[in-house]
Structure 1
């Protein structure tokens, strides 16, 4: 029997996961949490972009696309608090925010160091009313910091359980020292790492996996087409998740590529996407007219992406029957909630 009073399926997390999903259980998230690479779209010299400019740009995106997304992935600098205060993030739309330390600093480089942002905690995120915590980890299981990353994620799992908020983990592959990222060896390494990350982090107790697309659609391997390799890898990710919900990120791919990728992962069992540039590239910077035209395209892209999910994927959860709940979740549940 599912324990709705404590553990990974407890009421607080279920409610939050429901808020970031469509009514039929798909996670259609627009990511606008990008740091300096977003500012560079407003001005190539991103250091000249003011906080106010960044906020106006991000809230413009959110306002135009809110009716088309189940949730927004927002940053703690320019869009989360501002979206709440202004009401631009609707009450019916979920809020996810990152807890990782990714740039927002002099130089603007990301590096490959995994760390939690100083002064930004699970407790604060939950208190502000967010529905999920997202953590990026730069992941290679053979790297010297692998055990430290496991410790960081395990600690976040505990904190998110304590505060009853889902944890989304986003493992990002990077090449080993001296490895040509465009080589066949690197492609194989990347695929193996992305597939293995599913079982690795689900095993640590995360609530949602945010996965990179595992392969190159245009690269054949051992006689198999890129699409065949990708399909097999996506199925392996789903198997590694073992029922834990997983979604795909869009990375730097074009919308046309993202659409093909989303079809493959949805057919393999993914329940959603958390996409950024593949959706809104062209709608940041430029003239008012250019942005208006681009925002209309973005709305179409989000609607089409959700249609792909619904046609090919499966919801992250099938709610139990009312009769089953009536028999098992009985009066007095509130006294036992979170006690075990």
Structure 2
């Protein structure tokens, strides 16, 4: 287990339900959010201002009903803080990773949003930070570039008194069949969790590893470090089942994005308010019940 510092304890408490379980609305997507918006000219025509307006409505009508919301420093921030859209009682998690990735020798590497440091997260009003890494634990060990980056980010955030959520995604290699990848997937998540913890991670955001047994193995690999399940774009009903299983096997909560709002981001503020209120908010309440459910 990697113990939290006093300010990290405060940050962790801010992103949890009253019962102490992780629950964060993920809204740091940029291209992914454009893709689900119903623009008459096509997803590629969504402008910066249109995306900012959609994110503001998502904060106003969904995120403000959650303990915390994850936002990006390229579109949403600092605007939704400076104009008072983000409610005082909703904690802010700042995503540090940029959209996309670079590929080197067949392995993926995350890019950081230029100028986004632990201090910058604080300057934006962040209560916590999130950084994404793509990991193939069967190819990358403690001496790898990705491990070095994790250690560097954890150290920098700890020095700033800022809790860092380490998000892990895995992926299929070019010479790997879909069947081979599916078979390896649970082990890749389990081993990536262990690697991140060895690099100092104090909170993890992970894909659902596929089964109750795999969730229990992730919990064991995390060695006391809390982990939250990410929604990965699955439908809401499926995600509730995944979270229920994960929580029953040691997960600390959930971070949900598209499963909550992907069919609620219409092009007009009026339509978004109705959909987010009538469709997304009930899903959030159901997710909160699953996160705080029997343990």
Q: TM-score, normalised by structure 2?
A: 0.90
Deviation at residue 245 of structure 1 after TM alignment: 1.1
Deviation at residue 278 of structure 1 after TM alignment: 0.3
Are the equivalent residues in 2 in contact too, given 1:96–1:131 (CA < 8 A)?
yes
Deviation at residue 288 of structure 1 after TM alignment: 5.7
Q: How does 1:207-218 map to 2 (within 5 A)?
A: 207-215=202-210
Q: Aligned residue for 1:136?
A: 132
Q: Aligned residue for 2:47?
A: 50
Cα deviation, 1:294-339, whole Å, max 9, x if unaligned, reads 21111000001111111134xxxxxxxxxxxxxxxxxxxxxxxxxx
- 2:291 partner SS: helix
Flag structure 2 segments of 5+ consecutive residues without an equivalent: 102-106
Q: TM-score, normalised by structure 1?
A: 0.79
- 1:101 partner SS: strand
Q: Aligned residue for 2:112?
A: 116
Cα deviation, 1:200-256, whole Å, max 9, x if unaligned, reads 1011111110010012xxxxxxxxxxxxxx000000111111111110100020001
- 1:294 partner SS: helix
Match of 1:37 among 32, 38, 46: 32
Structure scoring higher RCO (CA < 8 A, sep ≥ 6) equals: 2
Q: Greater Rg, structure 1 or structure 2? A: 1
Query: In 1, Cα distance between the equivalents of 2:78 and 2:59?
Result: 13
RMSD of the TM alignment (CA)?
2.2
Query: In 2, Cα distance between the equivalents of 1:200 and 1:312?
Result: 29
Q: Aligned residue for 1:252?
A: 233
Flag structure 1 segments of 5+ consecutive residues without an equivalent: 1-6, 105-110, 216-229, 314-340
Residues 179 and 83 from structure 1, CA distance in 2 versus in 1: closer, same or farther, beyond 3 angstroms?
A: same
Q: How does 1:77-226 map to 2 (within 5 A)?
A: 77-103=74-100, 112-143=108-139, 147-181=144-178, 183=179, 185-215=180-210
Match of 1:297 among 271, 279, 286: 279
Residues 289 and 54 from structure 1, CA distance in 2 versus in 1: closer, same or farther, beyond 3 angstroms?
A: closer
Total equivalences in the alignment: 286
Query: In 2, Cα distance between the equivalents of 1:77 and 1:33?
Result: 9
